[in-house]
Structure 1
C-alpha cells in the first residue's frame, strides 16, 4: 500500500529502476513526453499522466454482501458483567468474555470496563472500553477532546435524571436505557451479544417495526432512513452517489415514536405503520430522543427491520443518550454538547456566484458586472482552482490571476459592498527535485517544519491530487497548525479575500498508496482521468426532459456526443468484474489496517482507494486508520484559527466539504458534487434538514447543479428553491454550459422574485441563526418537527419550514406546473397559512394533500399564522439592504394573535460591542364592544445601528375593518394611510416613516387602532 524510501530528495537516484518495476507505472511509455492539459490556460509543458491503475485498490467485497461472511452474533460468546459498583451518579462494572474467544474479525478483548454516568437530567453516558490499553492496542484510540468535545458530568444523578440505565446477564450482558417519565425503552441490547475485538466492535439495539430514524449522515437519500439501508461512515470523495458514503460523518440519530391515544382511557399504543396522509391526527402524540456514538473510526450502521446494528472497526463504545422528549429539545441538547453553530456575518446570507471555469480576473469581474447589468443582486464572487498556479494552494497564477490586478479588483468589490472567496484544497504540491527547487516555498516551509504526514518508515507520504504528487498536512502537530496559519496570512496580505472554501478534505488522493514516492522527478503529473474542460471532454449530459423543453439544442447535443458515447462503451466493455475478492484473516494481536478483516460497505471498496492509505502515519505515531474521518474537521478548525488571526475580532466565514461532529462550530457546508438533475434538487432538502440535526445550519448546494449541463427549466426552479436555503450559491463544472442566472430571461425574472423574498426575510434568517448559535435551534425544519403529533408527516421531505414561520413547497419534477403539498393544521383547524404573494389566507382544501398551482417562475411560499416578521427591502447587496426602511408583516393565527423576535447587531463581530433583541406581540380583539388592533414592541439592548424608520405595517387575517380607522402610537394619534382589503382580509398601515422620530427600534412602543 505504501512505498518506503529514504527521503524525498533521494528519489531521483532510483527513478529509472523503479519505472521498470513499479506495477503502477511499468506499462507507461515514457520515451515521448506527454503534453499537459491545461483547462485553466497555464503554459503547456511535458507532463506525465498517471495510469488509471494507480487509483485502483484491492477487490474487496463488503461484508454485508459476502456469502462467506461470519455472523458475529452467532459465533461470538458475548460478555458477563461482574464487580458492579453503584453510586449516586452512575455505576461501574467489569465485563469479561462469557465463553471461548471467537476472533471473528480481530482479536477478542477478554476484559472490558463499563462506566455509566448520569451526566444531566436529560443526558446519559455509557462507555465500554478495554480494561487495559497498551501501546500495541492502537485500535482503541481515544478521541481527543481538543478536537471533538466530550460531554461532561453536570448536575445529573440517578435521582434527578429522566433516563434510567439497567443491565442483565441472561444469557449474556445487555443493557436498556429507559425514559422514566413514560416508561419507554429508548435503547435496548437485550437479546443480542456485545462483540469487542481489536478491529471490530458490534452492538445491536432492538427497534419496533416501522421505526422513524433521522440523521446518521452524510448521505444522499430521503430524510427518514429506511429499513434495509446500510449507513457507512467513512469520508469519501465520491461525488454524490445515492445511499453511499460521501464527505461527512455524523454518528448521531434522532428517533421519533408515534403513539395512538385512546380518547376515553388515555392509553397510548405505539404506532408501527405508516398513516394515510388523509387520516385524522387528533388521536396521536409522539416523543423523540437522540443517540450519539462518539467514535471517529470507520463504521457501519445497518438499518434492519427490527433492529439497528452498529459496527465499527476501531475505537471504543462511547454512547450518549439525549432525552428530549421533543425534536427541538433533542437537537438543542446534542448541539450544545458538540459545539453550537458559529454565528455568521450578515453578508454571508447574500447571493454567491461561482464557477470552475472563470479563467482570469477579467472574466471573473465580467460576471460581477453582468450580474449588475441585469439588476441581479450579487454579494460574493468565488474562484475555483482556476486561479491557482498549476493548481497549487496559496499560489496565484502570475499571468491570469496576478496579485496586483487581483488586489485592485477586490478593492472595487469591497467599495461596492461585495466580497471575494477563493478555494483552498487539502493537499500541497511537492516540487520536482530536479527542476523546481525553491519554486514553491509553501511546501519547503512545511517540509522543514515537519508539517506533513508520513509513511510508516518516517518518509513523506506522497499521494496525487490536482497539481500532481502531493503531501498532506498532519493536523496532529502544532508545527502544521502554525505553518497553515502563517501561510494563509502571508497569502492574504497579497490577496485580501473575505472567506475560505475548503475542498478535497476527506482527504482526497487520486491514487492508492504513496504513489509519489520515488517518482517526484515526474512532477507535475496529470491525473489518470481527463479533466473537465480539456480538449475533447465536453459535457453533453442534460437534465431529464431536456429533449422536450429544448428540442433543437437537444438534437445538436445528441449528435455531438455520439463519439463520446462510443468511447464510453469501449471503456465499459474493458471493465471486468473481479472473479475473486480479497479477504483477510485475523492474526491474533496484530492489526491489518490496510485491509481489515471486516470489509465495510465503502463506496470505493478498498479503504485506501481515492484517499490516503490507512497506514499513513502522523508524527505522533497515530495511523490514519484511527483518524481518517477527522481530517476534514481538523482542517476547518485550523482554517478558523488562521482567519481569526488574519481578521481578529471578526467572524470567519468558511465553507467546507468534509465534516464531523462539531464542525458547525467552525464552518458551514455545501452539498458537494451534485448533478444537474431534478432529483438532486429534491435531495438538497433532506440533506439540508439532516445538516440541521448535526448543528451545521449554514448549508446549501450547488444551485442548478455542479456536474453535467443544466437547462432553463431546472435552473429556474433551483434558483428559486435555493433562495430559501441559508447558503445560496450557484456553482458548476468547467466543462458544462454557462449557468449564471442571467443566461436565460425567465431565470432572471424567477431569480429576482425569489431574491426579493429572501432579502425581506434576511432579518428573520439572521435571527434564526442567532437562536441556533446561542440555543442550538434548527433553521431549516422538517414538517414533522414543527408538527410532532402528525405521524403522516414522518417522512415528509419535499416541503420544509424556514424557522417556524415560513413554509416552502417547491416544484421538484421536470415539466410540472403544479405541486402537491400539505398545510399542517389547516384542515384540523389549528393553523392558518397566508400566501406570500397575495397575502390572503389559504382556503381550506377538501383534502390535506392538495394541489398548488406553480407555473414556471413561481415557488409557493407561505407565512404561518401566529408570527410577526420584521422585514427590509431588496438591494444589490446586504450592506445596502440594511439601510432600507423596516416593515412589519403580522400574520394572525386562529386566535388572532401573533408574536415575533428580532436580533440585531453589527453583523460582523465575534463579540459585538452592543446588541439588541426586539420582541413583538400583536392581538386583534374586542375592547368595549369595538374591534381593536394592538401591537406592542419591547426593546432590550443598546445597539443603534439599525434604528431606521418604520415604513408600513401589514396585518393578515383581519376579518373586518377596524371600527375606527385611526392610528395611535404610544397613545398619540399619528398621520398614516390606512387601507383595508375585505377580499384578502388584509389591513395595511403605511406612511409611518415620521413616527418614533424615524427610529423604530430605539425604544419600546405600542400601536393601536
Structure 2
C-alpha cells in the first residue's frame, strides 16, 4: 500500500538529497494479520547515478590541461628545506578550484624517515580542515632525534624542469624511491593529484582495506572510502590505510654492484632486497591507481602530507611506521587469545547457554561467546527484556565468569531516535545525547536523522567532540558505563562504524512518528529471502540433491521482486570557482555504492564547530574506537580494553583489533583471509581475524574443518555466521570436531608464544603474522607468497585451501642460504623435512582432511604450556619448551610474563632461552612470579643422543629423557619435581654429553 508523502517529509526536503514517496509496506511479522507499519522503501537508499572518473572515457586527464607549479624562495632549515610553489600558468580548475600558492616543506625526521609536505601557503579562516587533517584526530609524526646522515639515509631533491617535481632516493645505493619528475602537480580544493614512476614489475603491499592478493600488482585502483558492504573483491570496504611497502630485489655482482631485477626468479643468482614505505597522512576519500608505469595518487581534499620510511627491511619499515606515526598496538588481555564463538541469531540467554553447554559436551575449548541480538532492534545500552532480561543475564554471566569464560556484545554505531509522540518508546540514551550536543547535525544546526537497524537514528559527533568540545565522548563513556552495570560484558564489538545509514540524507527529519521497524531490504532467513544456497562445490559429491537445491533457488528468485536496472544517464557536476560541491564532487571516486551519500551519512552532515562530514567520513570508525577505549578504561579500571571494530584508519590498532568483515562461506575467502591478515600486520593491527567458516551463505564440514584449523593460527580466532544460514559451530560435524581439537591443542599450547609476540608488537611495533617475504627478504620468488605465512619467526603454517584436495603445495624458505641454510621441522613428528629441498621449490605436502601442516624454523626456542579448556586453565599448566636447532646446533627464543590483564602491569618477567646441541639455558629477568613448574622439553635436530644429562649440575635420571635416533629428537619429561618454586624463579641450565 502506498500513501502520499506527509507534509513533514516534504518539509524535510532541505536535508533529503534525493526524495521518494513514503510507503506503508508489510514486513514478515505483519503479514500474519498484524497492522501494517512504516518501512523505508528501497528507493530511500538510492542516490544519483554516478559514473566514476576512472570508468569514464570522457573524463578530463588533469595532466593534459593543468600547468603545474614553479618552486622559488628555497630556504634551508635545521632538518631540511622549504620553498614556495606558485601556479605555473592559468588555473585549470578541472575538478575544483586551483590553489595558486603552495608551501613545500621537507624535514628529515630521523635517519630512516623523511617528511615531505605540500599545503596551501595561505588558508582562509574557516576552511582549515579542507586541507589540514587536525593533529587532535591524527597526530603528526615529529623528529625523534637530530638527523645525522647514515648508510641508509634518504635524500630529497627538486626540479622546476618543466614544472615543479620532487624525488626521494635511497642514498646508500642511489635507488629512486619516489619521483614526480615529468608529471604535473595538481592541487585544488576538491582534487589533488601527484604521480610517481615505479620500477618495472614492482612489488607493492598495503593500501587497504581491500580484498585482494597480498601483492597488489600493477593493474589495480584502490578506493579509500569507508563503506558498509560485504567483502567485495577489489572494492572499497571498511577501512582506510593509505600506506604501502615497496620491496625491490637486486642482484649483486663480484664487485658488489647492485642491479635491479624485475620478476626475479633465477634460483642460482644472489639477491638482496630493499624495502621502503610510504604513508599519506590524509583522511579524505582517495584513489590510488597502480599501473605499469607507476602510482597515481588522487584525493578529494586535504594536503600532500607524505612520510617515507627507508627500512631497509619490511620489519624495519613497519616498526618505524608504528613507533613514529600511528602509535603502537594495544596490548591484549591473555583471555582474548582464546577461541570466540558468535552467530547472528543467538536470540536469548538460553540459546547462549546451550551453545556453551555444547562446547563443554564435545570437549572443545570456548573462551568467549558473542551476542549480536541483545535487543529486538539493536540499541546501545538496552537489552530485550524478554529474551535478554537483566536478571537472567546476571545469572548466566556469573556462571560464565565462574568458568573463566567471557561475553562480548555488539554495539552499533548509530543511536535510536524514538517516536516523540509515543511515551512508551522513550529512549533515555538518546535524550541524554541530545542534551549533551552529542550528535551530528544538518547544515541548519538541527539533528541529522538517518536510518539503520533500530529505525531512525542519530550519529555521535566524534569530530565535534575532539575539535570543538561537544559532548559525544563523555556521553558515550557514561552510556556504556550505565549499561555495564546491568550487563557485565568483558569487551565490546563495534559494528556499522563506516558510518552506515540505510537512507540518503536526513530522512528522519520531521518523520520520527513514522519510525520504520524494518530496513529497506530483506533480511537473511525471512520469507522470500531464505538462505537456500548449498555449500560451494556441493554438486561434486551430492549431485541429485544439488539439482533439487538449484530448482528451489530458481523458484525463489523467480518469485522475488526485481529492481530496475540503473539508467545509462549519469550525473556529473562541474566545479564552480570558490565553491565546494561536497554532495557530488566534480571528481567521482569509484565508490562501491556510487553516490557518496548512499548507505552512509551524507557528506553535508555537519559536526559541531561547522566541520563537514565530507572532510571526515573516513574518521568515524577510528574515533568511535577511541571513545570506546576510553569508556572501557573507566568500566574496567586498570584493565586493558578489548575492542574489535569494523571501520579502521591509520592508528586504530592502538585502541582495538579488527575482524575482516562480512566474508562468505567460500573457499576463496578462506584464502583471502591470509593476505588480509598480513596487510593488517603492516597497518599496525595485529589483533586480526576473520569470520571463520564464512559469514554469508552455508558452510560445510570440509570448508569448516580447513578454516577452523587455519584460523587457529590467527591472533583473533572467531567463528561467526549469518542469520538464516545453517549452523556452523565446530561441534555440528564430527570431522570438524576432530579437526578443531587438533588445531586448538596446538594453538592453546602456543598461547605463551603468541602472547609474547603480542607483547613485542605492543612494545616496539613488531609483527605477529608475517609474510614469508618479510622473514626471508633475499628470496624474490616469495614476493607474492600469500598462501603460507609465519607466526612470529618460529612457526610456518601451510594450510590446504582447495576443496577436495588431500595435499598442498608449499615452499620452504631459506633452504638455499649456502652452508647456513634454514632447516624446517614437522610440528607433529619433530623430524627435519628440508634436507633435499631446493630454493624456491614447490613441494607437495600431505594434508588429509583434519591435518594442517605446521613447521618449526631451525634456530627457535618456543615456550609452551599444556592446553586446557580455557586460557585460565592453560595458564595453570606446567611449562615446556620446544627447541628447533639450526644447522650449527643453536637456537634462541623468549617468553613474556605478566598478570595477563593490567593496563600497566605491576610486575613483568622476560625469560631468554638459548640452546645448543649440548644444552638448554633459561635466564629470567623481572619480578612477575609464576609458580607453574617446568615439565618437559623437546629438542629437534640433535644428531647424536646423550649418554648423561644434568640440571644445574644435578644428574638427571635416565627415566627423564629419551632419544629417538630416526627422528633425531631428544625428549625430556617428568621434570616437575625439580622446579618446586616454579620454572622461572631462577636461571637454570640443562646440559648433556
Q: TM-score range by the shorter chain?
A: over 0.9
**Structure 1 Cα separation of the partners of residues 389 and 659 of structure 2:** 28
| 1:89 corresponds to 2:79 | yes
What is the rounded CA distance, in whole Å, between the counterparts of 2:280 and 2:17 in structure 1? 40
**Structure 2 residue aligned with 1:502, among 494, 518, 522?**
494
357, 361, 366: which is aligned to 1:373? 361
Offset of residue 265 of structure 1 = 2.2
Q: Find out whether 1:189 has 2:183 as its counterpart.
A: no
Residue 887 of structure 1 corresponds to which residue in structure 2? 880
Is 1:664 matched up with 2:656? no
**CA displacement, residues 845-871 of structure 1 (integer Å, 9 cap, x when unaligned):** 555111111011111101111001110
- Name the structure 2 match of 1:986: 969
Q: Deviations over 1:443-494 (max 9, x none)?
A: 1111121111001111111111001111100012241101100000000000
Alignment partner for residue 416 of structure 1, among 403, 407, 420? 403
1:781-800 to 2 correspondences below 5 Å:
781-800=770-789
- Counterpart residue number, 1:228: 219
Select between 821-830 and 226-235 the one with higher mean Cα deviation. Answer: 821-830
The DSSP-based 3-state class of the residue aligned with 1:395 is coil
In the alignment, structure 1 residue 255 sits paired with structure 2 residue 246: yes
The answer to whether the 8 A contact 1:377-1:875 is kept is: yes
- Following the alignment from structure 2 to structure 1, what is the Cα–Cα distance between the partners of residues 774 and 11? 64
The CA deviation at 1:577 is 3.4
1:58 aligns with 48
Q: Distance in 1 between matches of 2:240 and 2:784?
A: 22
Identify which range, 427-436 or 592-601, moves more after superposition: 427-436
Instruction: Using the TM superposition, give the Cα deviation of residue 839 of structure 1 relative to its aligned residue in structure 2, in angstroms.
Output: 1.2
Partner of 1:329: 316
Provide the residue aligned with 1:303 in structure 2. Answer: 290
Shift of 1:556: 4.6
Instruction: Give the match for residue 543 of structure 1.
Output: 535
State whether residues 63 and 600 of structure 1, in contact with CA within 8 Å, keep that contact through their aligned partners in structure 2: yes
1:212 has 2:203 as partner: yes
- Equivalent position SS for 1:889: strand
Counterpart CA distance in 1 for 2:333 and 2:268 is 41
CA distance in 2, matches of 1:563, 1:148: 52
Could you tell me which residue of structure 1 aligns to residue 686 of structure 2? 697
Q: Which residue of 1 aligns with 2:8?
A: 14
1:953 aligns with 2:943: no
Residue 833 of structure 1 is matched in structure 2 by 824
Q: Establish whether residue 916 from structure 1 lines up as the match of residue 909 from structure 2.
A: yes
Measure the CA separation in 1 of the matches of 2:870 and 2:545. Answer: 35
Work out whether residues 594 and 613 of structure 1, in 8 Å CA contact, stay in contact via their aligned partners in 2. Answer: yes
1:144-185 CA distances to partner (integer Å, 9 max, x unpaired)? Answer: 222212111232336468111111111111011112122221
Aligned to 1:289: 276
Q: Is contact 1:36–1:45 with CA below 8 Å preserved after alignment? A: no
Measure the CA separation in 1 of the matches of 2:528 and 2:286.
40
Find the aligned partners of 1:936 and 1:209 in 2 and give their Cα distance.
49
1:134 aligned partner: 124
Give the drift of 1:555: 4.5
Instruction: Describe the shift of the 1:316–1:875 C-alpha distance in structure 2 as closer, same or farther (beyond 3 A).
Output: same
Q: Give the Å deviation of 1:553.
A: 5.0
The farther-off stretch of 504-513 and 531-540 is 531-540
Q: 1:565 aligns with which of 553, 557, 582?
A: 557
Aligned: 1:937 with 2:922: yes
- 1:212 deviates by 0.6
Note closer, same or farther for the CA distance 1:983–1:143 as it changes in structure 2 (3 Å cut). Answer: same
Cα displacement (A) at 1:534? 2.0
Instruction: Report the counterpart of residue 429 of structure 1 in structure 2.
Output: 416
Kindly state the Cα deviation for residue 126 of structure 1 after the two structures are TM-superposed.
0.9
CA distance in 2, matches of 1:878, 1:555: 45
* Superposed displacement of residue 13, structure 1: 7.2
> Structure 1 residues 901, 618: closer, same or farther in 2, change over 3 A?
same
Structure 2 CA distance for partners of 1:436 and 1:223, relative to 1, 3 Å: farther
- Kept in 2, the 8 Å contact 1:542–1:676? The answer is no
> Pairwise mapping of residues 565-584 of structure 1 onto structure 2 (< 5 A)?
565-567=557-559, 571=562, 574-584=563-573
Q: Indicate how the Cα distance of structure 1 residues 44 and 797 shifts in structure 2: closer, same or farther if over 3 A, else same.
A: farther
> Where does residue 143 of structure 1 map in the other structure?
133
Shift of 1:89: 1.0
The answer (yes or no) to whether the contact 2:23–2:38 under 8 Å persists in 1 is no
Is the partner of 2:757 in helix, strand or coil? helix
SS in 1 for 2:228: coil
Number of the residue aligned with 1:34:
26
Distance 1:619 1:709 in 2: 45
Are the counterparts in 2 of residues 429 and 471 from structure 1 also a CA contact under 8 Å? yes
Q: Does 1:493 align with 2:485?
A: yes
Q: What whole-Å deviation, never above 9, does each CA across 1:787-806 have from its counterpart, x for those lacking one?
A: 10001000000000000000
State the SS of the aligned residue for 2:549: helix
Pairwise CA distance, 1:515: 1.3
- Over 3 Å counting, the alpha-carbon distance change for 1:321 and 1:25 in structure 2 is closer
**Distance verdict in 2 for CA 1:823–1:37, change over 3 Å:** farther
CA offsets 1:586-608 (integer angstroms, 9 cap, x no match): 00000000000001011111111
Q: Does the 8 Å CA contact 1:47/1:526 hold for their aligned counterparts? A: no
Cα separation, 2, equivalents of 1:29 and 1:373: 50
- Structure 1 length normalisation: TM-score? 0.94
Cα contact 1:874–1:881 (8 A) shared by 2 = yes
Distance 1:66 1:136, change over 3 A: farther
- Say if 1:45 and 1:951 are closer, same or farther in 2 by CA, change over 3 A: farther
Tell me the residue number matched to 2:474: 482
Residues of 2 paired with 1:538 and 1:334: CA distance? 46
* 1:670-689 map, 5 Å: 670-689=659-678
Residue 12 and residue 458 in structure 1: after superposition, are their counterparts in 2 closer, same or farther (change >3 A)?
farther
- Is residue 344 from structure 1 mapped to residue 335 from structure 2 by the alignment? no
Give, in whole Å, the separation in 1 of the partners of 2:183 and 2:342: 51
Displacement of 1:552:
6.0
TM-score by length of 2: 0.96
Following superposition, the deviation at residue 137 of structure 1 comes to: 3.3
- SS of the equivalent of 1:485 reads helix
- Paired position in structure 1 for 2:986: 1003
Q: Residues 225-252 of structure 1: CA distance to partner in whole angstroms, max 9, x if unpaired? A: 1111001100001111100000000000
Q: 2:162 aligns with which of 171, 187, 203?
A: 171
Does the 8 Å CA contact 1:978/1:988 hold for their aligned counterparts? yes
Deviation at 1:18, TM superposition (A): 7.5
1:724-763 mapped onto 2 (5 Å cutoff): 724-763=713-752
1:162 aligns with 2:145: no
- Cα deviation for residue 135 of structure 1 reads 3.2
Segments of structure 2 that go 5 or more residues without pairing to the other structure are none
C-alpha distance in 2, partners of 1:186/1:814?
41
CA deviation map 1:267-287 (0-9, x unaligned) = 111011252xxx416511100
**Aligned partners of 2:461 and 2:16: how far apart in 1?**
27
Tell me how far 1:844 sits from its aligned partner. 3.5
Aligned position for 1:977 = 960
Matched residue SS, 2:628: helix
C-alpha distance in 2 between matches for 1:225 and 1:748: 36
Between the aligned partners of 1:655 and 1:958, the Cα distance in structure 2 is 43
Give the CA deviation at 1:306.
1.4
- Flag the 1:18–1:179 CA change in 2: closer, same or farther, 3 A: closer
1:887 to 1:770, Cα distance in 2 relative to 1, 3 A: same
C-alpha separation between the residues in 1 aligned to 2:962 and 2:201? Answer: 52
Q: Distance in 1 between matches of 2:55 and 2:618?
A: 24
1:778 aligns with 2:767: yes
Does the residue aligned with 1:771 lie in a helix, a strand or coil?
helix
Q: Which residue of 2 aligns with 1:180?
A: 171
Distance across 2 between alignment mates of 1:18 and 1:588: 29
CA deviations 1:197-245 (Å, max 9, x no partner) are: 0100010111011001100000000001111100110000111110000
Which of 49, 55, 64 pairs up with 2:39?
Answer: 49
Distance in structure 2 (CA, Å) of the matches to 1:828 and 1:26: 67
**Distance of 1:242 and 1:16 partners within structure 2:** 39
Answer yes or no: is the 8 Å Cα contact 2:186–2:192 preserved in 1: yes
